[in-house]
């Protein structure tokens, strides 16, 4: 199974998270071929030069060859590159599993948090672009934990 890992890759925190989760995914089954863009030094070593077309071509070639896309949906906003990768995957009919672990999604049954939605600027929950969410759900699913993510991947093997 070929898996494309979509997430931001520009900070130490992002790169470390990506590497750790990639290791867990690879440990599910030795037949998994995981493409983690940050490992493609030809286009993602930021001390070197790669123009926009090189990056788009390099990552998209890997994306369209994939059987599954793992998309990390966390962050202050959804990473624009991840959103584009989700769009390409949807357009190509490639299943997507989104990981959305933001703790602000908790408390949906808390009456005060729900009532606060009526007060301007008091949204206790985090908004995720519904168009992107819809693309994922039309051809995949969204999970809230790494354990659920690895379980979903294992089910697809």
CA distance 155 to 40: 27
Domains, the chain, with CATH or none? 2-156 (3.40.50.450)
**What angle is formed at CA 133 by the lines to CA 83 and CA 140, rounded to 5 degrees?**
95
In this predicted structure, what is the pLDDT of residue 76? 86
User: What count of residues does the chain have?
Assistant: 157
DSSP letter, residue 38: G
In this predicted structure, what is the pLDDT of residue 106? 82
Per-residue pLDDT tens digits for 120-153: 888 887 889 999 999 999 999 999 999 999 999 9
Strand order in the sheet with 33-35: 33-35, 2-6, 68-72, 96-99, 140-143
In this predicted structure, what is the pLDDT of residue 81? 96
pLDDT higher at 18 or 107: 18
Per-residue pLDDT tens digits for 50-65: 999 999 999 999 999 9
Give the Cβ contact number of residue 51 at 10 Å.
Answer: 9
């Amino acid at each position: 199974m070929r898996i494309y890992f979509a997430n931001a890759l520009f900070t130490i925190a992002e790169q470390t998270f990506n590497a750790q989760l990639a290791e867990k995914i690879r440990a599910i089954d030795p037949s998994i071929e995981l493409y983690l863009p940050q490992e493609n030094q030809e286009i993602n070593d930021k001390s070197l030069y790669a123009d926009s077309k090189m990056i788009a071509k390099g990552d998209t070639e890997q994306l369209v060859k994939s059987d599954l896309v793992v998309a990390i949906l966390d962050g202050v906003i959804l990473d624009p590159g991840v959103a584009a990768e989700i769009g390409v995957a949807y357009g190509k009919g490639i299943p997507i599993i989104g990981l959305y672990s933001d703790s602000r999604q908790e408390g949906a049954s808390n009456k005060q948090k729900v009532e606060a939605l009526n007060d301007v600027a008091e949204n206790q929950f985090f908004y995720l672009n519904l168009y992107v969410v819809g693309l994922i759900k039309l051809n995949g699913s969204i999970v809230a934990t790494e354990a659920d993510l690895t379980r979903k991947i294992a089910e697809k093997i």
